[in-house]
Amino acid sequence: MTDPTTEIASLSRALPDRVSIPGDPRYTAAIATWAKTDVTPAAAITCRGAADVQAAITAARKAKLPLSVRGGGHDWAGRALCEGIVIDLSEMRAVSVASDRRSALLQGGARARDLISTIDPLGLAAVTGSHGGVGMAGLTLGGGYGPLIGSQGLALDNLVEAQVALADGSVVSASATHNQDLFWAIRGGGGNFGVVTQMRCKLHNIPIVLAGVLIYPISEAKSVLTQAATLTASLPDELSAQLGIAAGPDGSLSVLVAPVWCGAPEDGERQLAPFLKLGTLLAGKVERMSQTALLSRFDAMIVDGLRVHIETCSLDALDSCSIDTLLSSMANAVSSGCVILTHEFKGAACRVAADATAFGLRRPHILVEILTMFPDPEDVTITQQHITWARETREAFTAALPGGYPNLLGPDEASRATKSYGDNATRLIQAKRRYDPDNVFSSTIPLPQD
């Protein structure tokens, strides 16, 4: 074992301008995350390519320092950071489109907005989540629910190949023809197997979507959510909708209905018309929009630098009982930073065999995201109140399916992860043993327990 300080100094000489330690001007930017954390990494390596990533892995191993990967920095639990070495991918964000326009090659740190800003002018779309700041690798490796889920599946269903820097210092390709077991494991197993330095994902010809964020009064919540849930369940794969309850700028609650139609625009106007008549529409409209505009729909609601705690569960459907749970939890929310939001899992995502990728839950379902976001409190009990509210809310969904969306599970939820991966858990554990036997990549979503 080399002394950590010596190893970081030697890495700094080997990679000039790429290593920063606390106090350096570039350090703060290299470890910036969406959610506030209390972690002070020993060093951040702002990598420019796979060779830098390899050097960072080797140095961390030699010095026996913890290692983490900062992609888009949007993991709510701050797992992009650790007390050791952070592999910062913020300068690896290049995107290029293949000449046949069917796929794009992304560097490992590319965010959704890097991808969409490149392909939108070409009339092309890709499966992203709902926010442009999220890293495409982080999103894809753990799942990737998004507005195109019904027609194109999860983000991970659109992964064609990845270049992965492994714990042993090698860089390999993973695809349907190369290292198939690694390709299987990284499609759902998160960052547990290595660092994706570049990846190829499918593109789709969807120049325009019809979408909107519709706001209804909280007094009509039961009726609006019941109708919206019935409607979304009955509409074709081209339609997906997020439903939720959140506080507006004045702190008062309202119902949020956010439908997206990615089929022919002329059909969309007819399909989306009922969403405008769910009750007394307070704000919002349905309109034709570009992929860039679609990705920015929630920007005003997403604030950087807050404390965050998220809980998640999945339901077969948003039925009357679940809507009651949602409403009573929001009525008892501990602050205006408490939000409940759903994502749909349907269509193309359900037509992938359950054992085709590591991702475990392939039946139609509704993902429930229970978010708490609040300024750094002086009184620590406030943090605990938010965590307790989120936990109790999750537990109140008594019809929840086993496990939860791996990308949103907390660091202490390995037993729930075991359930999330279902019959894929054993194979995933075997892949971890093969590719990362020393658990070098531990600052990531939890894997199933043995």
Ligand X SMILES: Cc1cc2nc3c(=O)[nH]c(=O)nc-3n(C[C@H](O)[C@H](O)[C@H](O)COP(=O)(O)OP(=O)(O)OC[C@H]3O[C@@H](n4cnc5c(N)ncnc54)[C@H](O)[C@@H]3O)c2cc1C
- Contact residues for ligand X (CB under 6 A)? 34, 68-76, 79-80, 89, 108, 129-131, 134-135, 137-139, 141-146, 190-191, 195-196, 302, 407, 443-444
- Distances in Å between the Cα of 47 and the Cα atoms of 19, 42, 87, 135 are 9, 16, 7, 15
- Distances in Å between the Cα of 179 and the Cα atoms of 172, 305, 342 are 8, 39, 35
Spatial distance between the Cα atoms of 49 and 54, rounded to a whole number of angstroms: 9
> Cβ closer to ligand X: 140 or 424?
140
* Pair type for strands 67-70 and 85-88: parallel
| Closest CA relative to residue 186, chosen from 162, 209, 151, 204 | 162
> Cβ closer to ligand X: 156 or 218?
156
> Cβ closer to ligand X: 279 or 307?
307
Considering just the CA atoms, what is the radius of gyration of the chain in Å? 21
> Cβ closer to ligand X: 34 or 227?
34
At residue 313, what is the residue type?
C
The least distance separating ligand X from the CB of residue 139, rounded to whole angstroms, comes to 4
> Cβ closer to ligand X: 189 or 279?
189
The least distance separating ligand X from the CB of residue 147, rounded to whole angstroms, comes to 8
> Cβ closer to ligand X: 71 or 404?
71
The least distance separating ligand X from the CB of residue 376, rounded to whole angstroms, comes to 17
The least distance separating ligand X from the CB of residue 232, rounded to whole angstroms, comes to 16
The string of DSSP codes covering 46-96 is E-SSHHHHHHHHHHHHHTT--EEEESSS--TT-TT--SSEEEE-TT---EE
The least distance separating ligand X from the CB of residue 280, rounded to whole angstroms, comes to 28
The least distance separating ligand X from the CB of residue 166, rounded to whole angstroms, comes to 11
The least distance separating ligand X from the CB of residue 94, rounded to whole angstroms, comes to 13
List Cβ neighbours of 348 (8 Å cut-off, separation of 6 or more): 149, 150, 151, 152, 153, 157, 237
> Cβ closer to ligand X: 279 or 428?
428
Tell me the CB-side half-sphere exposure of residue 73, using CA atoms within 13 A.
Answer: 19
> Cβ closer to ligand X: 129 or 410?
129
Number of CB atoms found within 10 A of residue 328's CB: 11
Tokens of 346: 């349907």
The least distance separating ligand X from the CB of residue 172, rounded to whole angstroms, comes to 13
DSSP letter, residue 125: B
Spatial distance between the Cα atoms of 237 and 448, rounded to a whole number of angstroms: 31
The least distance separating ligand X from the CB of residue 217, rounded to whole angstroms, comes to 25
The least distance separating ligand X from the CB of residue 246, rounded to whole angstroms, comes to 13
> Cβ closer to ligand X: 145 or 275?
145
> Cβ closer to ligand X: 30 or 89?
89
The least distance separating ligand X from the CB of residue 61, rounded to whole angstroms, comes to 16
The gap from C-alpha 159 to its chain's centroid, in whole angstroms, comes to 15
> Cβ closer to ligand X: 215 or 302?
302
Strands of the sheet with 195-202, listed across from one edge: 95-97, 103-107, 195-202, 159-165, 171-175
- Distances in Å between the Cα of 218 and the Cα atoms of 246, 272, 379 are 10, 21, 30
* Dihedral of alpha carbons 69, 26, 113, 109, sign: negative
- Distances in Å between the Cα of 160 and the Cα atoms of 90, 108, 118, 272 are 22, 14, 18, 32
* Pair type for strands 67-70 and 195-202: unpaired
